[in-house]
Structure 1
Amino acid sequence: MRTNSSKSSVTAEQLKRSATKREYRQRAAKEHPLATQLAIVALSRVLRPVLRIPDRFVVTAVVPKGSNIYSFNAAAHWLIELRGRENPLRQETEVVVVNEDADLEKVITLTKLEGTRRAIILLSSEDFLTPEIRILSDIVANIPDFTARDIKIAAIRMGFGKISDVTAEFLASEDLRRLSLVMRRGRSVGAMIARLRIYPKPEETPKPEPVDFTPTLNDLYGFGAAKTWGLELATDLAEWKAGNLPWSDVDRGLLLSGPPGCGKTSYAAALARTCGVNLVQASAARWQSTGHLGDMLKAMRRDFADALKNAPSILFIDEFDSFPNREDLEGESASYNRQVVNGLLEVLDGATGREGVVVIGATNYPDVIDEALLRPGRLERHCAIPLPDVTSRVGIFRYHLREDLVSSSLDIVIGRSEGWTGADIERCVRDARRLARRERRPMELRDLIISMPPRTRVPPDFLRSVAVHELGHAIVGVLVDADQLVSVTIEDSFDSRASQSSLGHACFQERSVVRKTSTYFEDKIAVLMAGMAAERVVFGDHSNGAAGHRQADLNIATDLATMMEIKWAFGNTVSSEVYGKSKDLARMRLKRGGLAHVVETTLRKQLERAESILTDNRAALDALTDKLLLERRLTALDIAEAVKTRARELHARTG
C-alpha cells in the first residue's frame, strides 16, 4: 500500500508541474510579437533533439535571409527558460548572435570554454558559417523561410485561434513587416485580411541588373600559352558535357606561375566563366589555418568534395608552392609536410578520378613544388605568365577603362608602364577613376598620368654602364653561333613602385631548329658572360647587376655549365643526372667532388673569351654605346652592321 500511495503522490506532483508549465507557456506565449512567435516555432524544431537531454552541445542555426536575428535571440532564450523549468541545467545554455558586428574569434573562444556546457549560435548569414564553427558544432541547420503552417501555429499561440489553410496561405504571402503590423491582439482575422487587401503591397520598382565585369579569357591580355590552353579546355569541356569526349581526353590540371600581381586569380575566374563551369577557390594557407594536420587534410578533402559536388568545376588552389619536394624536406616539419603532399596526391588522383574537376595551382615559385604533383593526370601542364608587353598593356588598360578615354591615345601611359603587372594597371585606372569621381566629371587622360608614380631618372654615367653591359651581350651574340639577337633596349628612368623594373635588356630568340652541342652551350655561356666582360673591358671591373638572383646572367650560366658536366655528358664523364633545378644543381656542386672546379673553369674560360671578342671590337662597342644612349633601342641589324663596319675599317687601316 505504501508503494501505491507513493506512486499516486508522484503522479499528482507531475500533473501539477505539467499544469504550471502549461499555464506559463500559454501566458508567456501570448506576450511575444509575431516575429518572435515564428522564430520560436522554427527554432524549436532545430533545438528539439538537444533541449531534452542534460548534456553538452553546440547548435548553430542560420536564420532566414532578411529576418531579424534578434527575434531568434529572444526565441532561443524563451525556449531555454521554458526547458529550464523542467531541468535547471538547461539554464546554463549560452546564446550567441553572429552578424556583421560580431567578432568570430571571440565567438569561437567563448563556445570552446569548458565552463560553457551548451551554446546556441545564431548566424545572420551563411557567410559566417566558417570551417571553425562547423567543426565546433554538433548540429548545423539552415532555418527555412516561414510557411503557412508556421503562421497557423503562431496564430494559435497569439490567441487568434485556428485559421483556415487558405487564410494561412494568404498571410504567408505577405512580407513579415506588414504581417507584424496587422496581427495585433483584439483584432479579428477577417479585419486583418481586409486591411491587407485594402492597402496592397506597392509595386516594387525592379532594380537594375548589376553590371558583371568579370572577364572571359577573350578579354584577357598577356597570358600567352595559358590563354591558349584555357580556350582549348573550354572547347573540350563543352564536348565532354555533350557526351562527345571522354573525361580521359580532357586536361585535368594546370600549374600557373608568375610574379605577384600578374593575374593568376583573375585567370582562374575568367577560365571558369569562359568554360561555363563553377569556380571553387582554395589555398594552402586557408587549409593550414584550420588547425593541426588532421584538420588541414579534412579542409583539403572538403574543398575537393565541394568541387566534385559542383562539377563541372574549376578548383583553384593558391600558394601551390606550399607543397614542396619531399626529397628536400628536413627537420622537424619534414614528416608533417610529407603527409600533406601525400594527402594532396590522394585527392588529386581520387578514387573516382575526380571526373568533371579541373585543378589550377598558382605559384610564384614553380621550382620548389614536388614533382609527383606535376605528373600526367594531375597538374600536368605548366604555363608561366610573363610581365605584359606593350601590346598586352594596351589591352589591359583598355579593358579596365571600359567606356572611358575611348578616343584618347594611351601612348604616354603605355610607355611609362614598362615592368607593370596587370594588377599595377588596374590600380592605376582605379585611382584615376577616383580622381574624376571626386571632381564629378568624366575621366581624362591627365587622371591616368597623375595616378602613375613618378619615375626615377637614371644618372648618365650609370645609364652608360647599362648600355655597355647590354651591348656586350649583343655584340658577342652576333659573333658566335648561339641564339639569334632581336634587339637591345635601355630605359633612362624607372618606376620604383612597379612589381619588376629593368633598365636594359638584350633580347634573344632561340632558333626553332638547332643542334645543341657542347659548342652551342659554350657559345651561350659566352653570351651570358659578355655583359660582365664588356664592363670589365670599358670600366676595368664589373658591377653586381649580373648575379644574385635566379634570372641573373651569371646564375643561368653557372647552371648551364653544371648541366653540361652532369646532365648532357659534355664533360669528363658520360654518366647523366636528371637534375635541372637551380637548388638541385647547387647541391650537386657541393657534393660531387671536382664539379665546382670544372664549372668555375668553364665560366672563366668563356668570360675570358667574351673579353677577348669585345676587346677586338672595342671601337664598335664604343660607337654603339653612344648610339644606344641616343636612340634607346637598337635592332640586331644595327648591331651586325656596326660590327662589320668597324671590322672593315680596322682591316683597311692594318691592310
Structure 2
Amino acid sequence: MNLHVAGQRDLLARAYLDMLAAEAGTSSGPLLRSGNPDDPIERLIDDLSTSPESVGRTSIRADLAAAAVLVARAIEPVSGLTRELRRGCPVVSLATHGAEVVSLVRQVLKICAFGAEAKVLDDRTFDRGGYTRPVLLLARDGTSNEHKAERGNDTVASALHARAPVFGVAPDPRRHLPRDLLRAAEHHLSLSQLDSSAIALVIEAVTGRSPSATVDEQVVRAIDISDLALSVRSDRMADDCVKRLERIVSTKSFFDHRGPCLEELAGYGAAREWGLNLVEDLREYRAGRLEWECIEKGLLLAGPPGVGKTQFARAVAKSAGVPLVATSVADWNAAAYLSGTLAAIKEAFSQARKLAPCILFIDELDGISDRATLTTEYKEYWTQIVNLLLELLAGIEERPGVVVIGATNHPEHIDAAVRRAGRIDRTIEIELPDAQSLAAIFRFHLGPEALPNVDLMPAALAAGGKTGADVEAWVRRAKSRARRAKRELQLKDVIHEVRCGREAMPENLRWSCSVHEAGHLVVGVALAVFEPQALTILDRGGATRVELSRANSQTQSGIENYIIALLSGRAAEEVILGASQATAGAGIGEDSDFSRATQTATDLELRFGFGAIGVAHFSDRATEMLLHDPSVVTLITKRLDRCLTRARELIAGNRKPVEAVARRLEETGYLDRAAIDELLKAHPVRNIVPDDHGGETGGSR
C-alpha cells in the first residue's frame, strides 16, 4: 500500500479499492497515490499502467469499485466507525435507495469493513456459532416476501447478546430490515449519489489511470452503477472510458427526445396551454430566475386510450430540455411481492430526484386503488402502496425540480388523497381530437415529404372520433400499401386505411346531416344557448362542437332553451326537407339529442322544482317509479312537444341562415369558428318571438 497519503481525499475509499484489488488478484498496483506527478513511485505506476504488459490484466469490476467508493464515503465521516467495525460491536443501518446495489454493497462490506479475522454471517447461519469474531450482515434488496420489519428480530437479539457487529443494508431500511436492528442502531447511514470525483476514482481503479476529461454534469446525474460496468474496462484508456460512459448514458430513455415537441402537438387544448406554461417556468427555474415554490408541479391527464397522454409528457420534456422518467403502476405491480412493488415505486421517485429538474410520468395511475372502496381482503396491501405514494408525492417539495404528470382513463377511481392540494392537484381531460386537430396530426405523421400541399381534411373527417394513435397506425399502413403497389403515396391510400372498407356517407344522407347540424347551430345561437366552435360531417354522422353558456343555465326558460336547441336538428330536417324526409339520427343512443332532451325535461318536472308537481326533488329510484305513471309521462312529453314546436318556429324564421350553413357544411365537411362567424355575419340569425296576437317579432344576433 502506498504510504504517501497524508491529506488526500477518499482515503478509506482507496483503501477499500486496494483490498478489493488484492482479493481479485489484480496486478494494477496500489491506488493510495500521493498526487505528486514528480514522485518516482507515482511515475512508476504511470509507466506500468500504460505498458503492453498491463493489457489483459485482472481488474476490479467497475460496478463493485463504485459500490466500494460509495460505502466508504458513507462510513468515513462517522468518527471512529471504521475502527469500531473491525474491533468493536456497532449496530449500523445503511440505506442504498436502490435494490440493484445491495449485493455489491454486501460484497464490499464483507471483504473490506470487518477485518480478516471476522466471519460474516447472515440470519440463516448466525445461530450456528463457533466463530471467534462473528459479524451479522443482513443485506435485503426488498424483492423477497421475507424482507420485512418483523422478520429476523430473533437473530438480531442473538447477535447483540454475542457482542457481534450488526450491519443492515437495504433500499428502505424502515421497511426491509428487522425492526429491532433499527431500534438498536447507533448509526443510520445512507449511500450518496455518484459524482464526478467518484466516477474518476472508479476509472482509476479499473484502468490504472485517472481520466483528464470530466464527465458532463447532466450525464453524471443519470449514471447508474450498472452503466460503469458496461463502459469502464481495464483494456481501455481512462479518457476513452469517459467517452463510452457518456455515449451509453445518452442513449437512456430519460434523454430520448424523439417525437414532436409540445409546440408541434395538436389537439391537446387546456393541457397544451398548461404544458407550455410549465416549459417556460422550468426554463426560468434552471436559469435561477424563478423559485421552485412558484411552479405548478403536479398534473393528472385524463382521457380515453390513444389520445396521446404519454406523448404529451414526452413533448413537455423535449420542449423544456429536461429528462423524462417514465413509469407505470403496471411496472410497479410486476414484482412478485408487496416489498418489490414498494421498492419499484421508491426507485422511480429516487431516479427522478437524481435527474431533477425532470418530468416524472406515471401511467395507469387509476391502477392504484381508492382506499375508500377497498374490500377487507386487499385493504392492507393497497393501503401500504397508497401511503408510500402519498409520502413520496409530499416529499417532492423537499427535493425541488421534479414535476409529476399522472395519466388515467378513469380519474374517478383514484384515491382522493393523491389528488389533494400539494400533490397531483390539477386534472385536465384530453378529449378526442376534432377534425382540424386530426388534420394536423395526419400532417405530422406523414411528414413534409408525403402528400405536400394536399388538403388532409377529407382524411380527418373520415377519422372523426378516433385518436392520434389511430392516425399514426393508419399512416404507417397507408405508406406500406403504396410501397407494395410500387408508387407514391396518395390520399386515397390514407382514406382507405381510415375507413377500413367502410363506405362513405351517401349523398342524400350527407345533405340531411348537414341540415340537421345547421339547425342546432342556428337555434343555439338565436337563443344564446352556446357559442359555436365547429361543425363536422363524419362518416357516421354529424357533430356540433359548442361551448355552453352559463348565463341562464339555471332558470326554467334557460333550461327549456337548451331542450329547444337539442330538438332543433330534427326540427330543421322537418322544415327544410319535409316531415317525410326526417331521419332517426337524433334519437339513437343514450347520448342522442332525444335522450338528453328527455332527461332534461324529466329533471324539470321531477328534480328542479319547475314542473306541475311543484317544488320537489325525487331520487333515482323514485323517479323510475314515477315514470310508470302515465300522467307524469304526459307532463314530460307535453313539455318536449312545446319545445319542438318552438324549434320549428325558429328554423322557419331563420331558413336562409340554416340553408346557407348546411350548403357550406355539405360541401366542405367541416366549419371552424372563423367560417361559422363569416356565414352568420352574411346571414344574421334572429330570435323569433311570437307576440300576443299570433304574429312574430325578433331581433338579429
TM-score by length of 1: 0.56
Deviates more, 1:227-236 or 1:450-459: 450-459
- Correspondent of 2:558 among 511, 520, 523: 520
2:8 maps to which residue?
none
Instruction: Return the offset for 1:504.
Output: 0.9
Alignment of 1:268 with 2:313, yes or no, is: yes
Tell me the residue number matched to 1:427: 473
Note if contact 2:566-2:597 (Cα within 8 Å) is conserved in structure 1.
yes
CA distance in 2, matches of 1:391, 1:565: 40
Give the structure 1 partner of residue 455 of structure 2. 410
Q: Which moved more, 1:229-238 or 1:349-358?
A: 349-358
Q: Distance in 2 between matches of 1:603 and 1:478?
A: 25
Instruction: Give 1:302 deviation, angstroms.
Output: 2.5
Q: Would the alpha carbon gap of residues 524 and 215 (structure 1) be closer, same or farther in structure 2, given more than 3 Å must change?
A: same
Deviation at 1:611, TM superposition (A): 3.2
SS for the counterpart of 2:317 is helix
Question: What is the aligned partner in structure 1 of residue 620 from structure 2?
Answer: 589
C-alpha deviation, 1:232, in angstroms? 0.9
Say whether the 8 Å CA contact 1:561–1:602 is kept in structure 2. Answer: no
The alpha-carbon distance between structure 1 residues 507 and 397, as it changes in their structure 2 partners (threshold 3 A), is: closer
Change over 3 Å in CA distance of 1:490–1:605 after alignment to 2: farther
- Summarize the Cα distance change of 1:567–1:342 in structure 2 as closer, same or farther, 3 Å threshold: farther
1:368 Cα offset (Å) = 3.8
Q: Which residue of the partner structure matches residue 261 of structure 2?
A: 216
User: Which whole-Å CA distance do the structure 1 matches of 2:275 and 2:390 have between them?
Assistant: 23
One-letter amino acid of the counterpart of residue 283, structure 2: A
What amino acid maps onto 1:522 in structure 2? E
**Which sections of structure 2, spanning at least 5 residues, go unmatched?**
1-24, 27-54, 72-98, 103-143, 146-170, 177-190, 209-230, 238-243, 697-701
**1:380 aligned counterpart, secondary structure:** coil
Larger helix share, 1 or 2: 1
Are residues 569 and 391 of structure 1, via their aligned partners in 2, closer, same or farther at CA, if it must alter by over 3 Å?
Answer: same
**Alignment-mate amino acid for residue 541 of structure 2:** L
The amino acid of 2:555's aligned partner reads T
Alignment of 1:264-343 (within 5 A): 264-323=309-368, 325-329=370-374, 332-333=377-378, 336-337=381-382, 339-343=384-388
Q: Is the contact made by 1:589 and 1:596 (CA closer than 8 Å) also made in structure 2?
A: no
User: Deviations along 1:285-329, whole A, 9 cap, x unmatched?
Assistant: 222222344443332233122212221111111112334654455
Give the Cα separation in 2 of the matches to 1:342 and 1:594.
44
- State whether residues 525 and 685 of structure 2, in contact with CA within 8 Å, keep that contact through their aligned partners in structure 1: no
Q: 1:221 to 1:486 in 2, by over 3 A?
A: closer
Amino acid at match of 1:589: D
Counterpart residue number, 2:642:
609
Residues 509-561 of structure 1 deviation map (CA, whole Å, 9 limit, x = unaligned): 3348557434322322443355578899768995795433xx55466567767
Tell me how far apart the structure 1 counterparts of residues 647 and 386 of structure 2 sit (CA, whole Å).
50
Alpha-carbon distance change, 245 to 60 in structure 1, aligned in 2, over 3 angstroms: closer
Q: CA RMSD in A?
A: 6.4
- Alignment-derived partner of residue 589 in structure 2: 547
1:47-446 alignment to 2 at 5 Å? 213-323=258-368, 325-329=370-374, 332-333=377-378, 336-337=381-382, 339-350=384-395, 352-405=397-450, 407-411=452-456, 412-434=458-480
Gap change, CA 1:511 and 1:428, over 3 Å in 2: same
Aligned in 2, Cα 1:285/1:538: closer, same or farther, shift over 3 Å? farther
Match in the other structure for 2:3? none
Secondary structure at the aligned position of 2:349 is classed as: helix
Q: Using the aligned pairs only, state the percent identity.
A: 34
Aligned partners of 1:482 and 1:524 also within 8 Å: yes
Classify 1:446/1:618 alpha carbon distance in 2 versus 1 (closer, same or farther; 3 Å): closer
TM value normalised by structure 2: 0.53
Aligned 8 A contact 2:553 2:559 in 1: no
> Is the Cα–Cα contact under 8 Å of residues 408 and 445 in structure 1 kept in the other structure?
no
Residue deviations 1:427-476 (CA, integer Å, cap 9, x gap)? 23333444566688876656645654444234577667756764664565
Distance 1:342 1:592 in 2: 41
Q: Distance in 2 between matches of 1:242 and 1:378?
A: 25
1:468-479 residue pairs with structure 2 within 5 A?
A: 470=517, 473-474=520-521, 477=524
* Equivalent residue letter for 2:353: L
* Contact 2:519/2:572, CA 8 A, preserved across alignment: yes
Distance 1:562 1:530, change over 3 A: same
Aligned residue-pair number: 498
Match of 1:506 in 2: 544
In 2, the alpha carbon distance for the partners of 1:380 and 1:465 equals 45
Q: CA deviation at 1:505?
A: 1.6
User: Which structure 1 residue ranges, 5 or more long, are not aligned?
Assistant: 1-24, 27-33, 50-58, 63-110, 113-130, 153-172, 180-203, 495-501, 577-584
Q: Give, as a single letter, the amino acid of the residue that structure 1 aligns with 2:547.
A: Q
Deviation at 1:269, TM superposition (A): 0.6
Question: 1:41–1:464: structure 2 CA closer, same or farther, 3 Å change rule?
Answer: closer
Distance 1:175 1:342 in 2: 42
Asked if 2 retains the 8 angstrom alpha-carbon contact of 1:216 and 1:274, the reply is yes
- Determine the structure 2 residue equivalent to 1:185: none
